[in-house]
Every structure is written in C-alpha cells, then in structure tokens.
Amino acid sequence: MFKTSLTSLLLIVSLSWQPNANAEQLDASMQATPARCVALHQGQTCYQLVDINWQINTKGSYCLFISSSPQALTCWQQNGQQAGFFQYDVQSTEDVVFSIKNSYSQQTLAQLRFEIAWVYNQSQQRRSSWRLF
C-alpha cells in the first residue's frame, strides 16, 4: 500500500511540475528611431544618429552591445521594470545589430537590426557625359 501511494504521489507531483514556474520571465523589447539609414549609393557610408529605447521587466545587470564591437556601449543595474534610452552615432556601410545582454551570463535578451539602405545600387553603369557621334 505504501508503495502504491508513493508512486501515485510522485506521478501527481511530476504532472503538476512546470519548468520555470517560479522563475521570472525574461521579457525585453527594443526599438530604434529611425529604423534605417539611407545613403545615396551602395557601399557608401551612412551617417545617422539613432535613438535606442528598451524596456525590461526583470531585475538584473544588463549591457547594450553593437555588432561591430565586443565592448559594451553602456551597462546598468535594474531593480524592476525599467525603460532605458541611448543615442548612438551610426557610421556604417552595412546593417548594424544592437543587443541587450545579461552582464553575467551574456544571455541575449533583445536584439534589433538597424538597416542600411541605398537610393542607387552600385550595379548601375555610369553614363558617359560625352559622345563621339
């Protein structure tokens, strides 16, 4: 009888157990304004001052990173739901990825791609301004 009740108890506990039931959900969001930079010709460096806004609802220590550098742009300690803001002067010929990571575990919580676009593709041939005939 003891064996049956112990087995039943273990079965009930295993069915009711959910991973991360007590852990806080890591919820973070990021937004960039403007969302892209437009250069005249493909391959040309695009210059744009970008406002990066984020919101995280979990306590912890976090850092903002950019894809072109292993060093953090800024870090902060958070004690609850918090919104943050950072301005960055983008100077790039290709898309830039911003990410928020946990300072200790390096787990990425949020990520966004800042696009670089062009008015004219480089594949267009230049026209000659003079003709022989």
With the C-alpha atoms ordered 97, 100, 104, 106, is the resulting torsion angle positive or negative?
Answer: negative
- 79 pLDDT above the threshold of 60: yes
Could you count the other beta carbons within 10 Å of the beta carbon of residue 77?
10
Average pLDDT, the chain: 79
| DSSP secondary structure code for residue 43 in this structure | T
- 32 pLDDT above the threshold of 90: yes
- 73 pLDDT above the threshold of 70: yes
- 37 pLDDT above the threshold of 80: yes
- 132 pLDDT above the threshold of 80: no
Higher-confidence residue of 1 and 61: namely 61
Q: What pLDDT shows up at residue 74?
A: 93
- Which residues, at least 6 apart from 5, have a Cβ–Cβ distance to it below 8 Å? none
| DSSP secondary structure code for residue 45 in this structure | P
- 24 pLDDT above the threshold of 50: no
pLDDT band for 108, please (50, 70, 90 cuts): very high
Q: What pLDDT shows up at residue 15?
A: 37
- 90 pLDDT above the threshold of 70: yes
CA distance 111 to 122: 29
- Which residues, at least 6 apart from 102, have a Cβ–Cβ distance to it below 8 Å? 60, 61, 62, 109
pLDDT band for 28, please (50, 70, 90 cuts): confident
